[in-house]
Amino acid sequence: MQSVKEDQDLINQIQQKDKTVFEMLYKKYYKKLHVLSFQYVLNHEAAEEIVHDVFIKIWRMSEQLIIERSLEKYLIRSVINASLNYLTSEKQLRNKQDEYSKGQTKFVEETVNIEQTELLMTKLEAALDLLPPQCKKVMMLSRFEKLKQKNIAKQMGISIKTVKNHLTYGFNKLRMILENNTKSSMLILAATAHYITSLTTRIL
């Protein structure tokens, strides 16, 4: 093992930008440091880059370099720290990639849901247009304007029984027309009053 004085002599030569000494130092410790880094990162290319970066840092910052113990221990500690930093960065990157992937999946799912909802709404509007005019008007007043049956009867000048008959007929007819999307369409019918309220303008 080299003495601190010998190590300092090497550092002094590197500080003077002696490339020959630097290359000698690199060749002497590279293999050992590469094996050390690989034990942490389990990736030969990453380990090679880590060791290379440690030596580059020593070369660039040689003027501020202070070796308190031995140069070898300094190199070992530097490579270990760099390897741990690499693992931390990789973990953060994987987490970000996972978050991005989940976000993309959620976005695709939401986009599909929106497209499906829009398709169902289109079918629902088309189905409503197939109802008799008075039945359609009762359905719109009941489901989208949330009027009570007695208020619908008063507004349209018909009996409550007639309103009930229109509602029963209307829902049964819609179920038949939308038989392949019954559940989703009925949920939309109940939950999207504001979306189709504009349709009532043409009816009232």
pLDDT of residue 108: 52
Q: How confident is the model at residue 93 (pLDDT cuts 50, 70, 90)?
A: low
Question: At residue 3, does pLDDT exceed 80?
Answer: no
Q: How confident is the model at residue 49 (pLDDT cuts 50, 70, 90)?
A: very high
Tell me what the mean pLDDT of segment 19-23 comes to: 86
**Whether 15 and 85 share a structural domain:** yes
Tell me what the mean pLDDT of segment 3-8 comes to: 64
Task: Look up tokens 């630097």; give the residue.
Answer: 22
Q: Please, are residues 47 and 56 in contact by the beta-carbon 8 Å criterion?
A: no
Q: Is residue 24 part of a domain?
A: yes
Question: What CA–CA distance (Å, rounded) separates 167 from 155?
Answer: 15
CATH code: domain of residue 8: 1.10.1740.10
| Window from 1-5, 143-147, 158-162 with minimum mean pLDDT | 1-5
Q: How far apart are the first and last CA of the chain?
A: 97
Q: Is residue 107 part of a domain?
A: no
pLDDT of residue 118: 67
Q: Is residue 112 part of a domain?
A: no
pLDDT of 114-151, one tens digit each? Answer: 666 666 777 777 778 888 889 888 888 887 677 888 89
Please say whether the dihedral angle defined by the alpha carbons of residues 174, 175, 177 and 181, taken in this order, is positive or negative: positive
Of 190, 158, 152, 153, residue with least CA distance to 171: 190
Q: Which residue has the higher pLDDT, 9 or 139?
A: 139
Q: Which two tokens stand for residue 46?
A: 């990453």
**Whether 82 and 136 share a structural domain:** no
Q: Which residue has the higher pLDDT, 96 or 188?
A: 96
CATH code: domain of residue 198: 1.10.10
Q: Is residue 19 part of a domain?
A: yes
Residue 147 belongs to what domain range? 130-203
Question: At residue 68, does pLDDT exceed 50?
Answer: yes
**Whether 12 and 90 share a structural domain:** yes
Alpha-helix residue ranges (DSSP H) falling in 42-132: 44-60, 71-129
Q: What is the largest CA-CA distance in the chain?
A: 108
pTM of the model: 0.44
Which helix (H) or strand (E) segment holds residue 171: the answer is helix 160-177
| Burial call 172-185: b when 16+ CB within 10 Å, e when fewer | ebbeebbeebeebb
**Of the residues 74, 96, 118, the one at which a domain ends:** 96
Q: What percent of the chain has pLDDT over 70?
A: 65
Question: What CA–CA distance (Å, rounded) separates 34 from 22?
Answer: 17
Q: Which residue has the higher pLDDT, 104 or 131?
A: 131
Helix (H, G, I), strand (E, B) or coil at 49: helix
Q: Please, are residues 175 and 182 in contact by the beta-carbon 8 Å criterion?
A: yes
Q: Which residue has the higher pLDDT, 185 or 59?
A: 59
Question: At residue 182, does pLDDT exceed 90?
Answer: no
**Whether 13 and 92 share a structural domain:** yes
**Of the residues 75, 96, 117, the one at which a domain ends:** 96
Q: Please, are residues 142 and 152 in contact by the beta-carbon 8 Å criterion?
A: yes
**Whether 24 and 81 share a structural domain:** yes
**How many structural domains are present in the chain?**
2
**Whether 21 and 92 share a structural domain:** yes
Q: Is residue 187 part of a domain?
A: yes
**Whether 29 and 91 share a structural domain:** yes
Q: Is residue 73 part of a domain?
A: yes
Q: Is residue 101 part of a domain?
A: no
**Whether 135 and 78 share a structural domain:** no
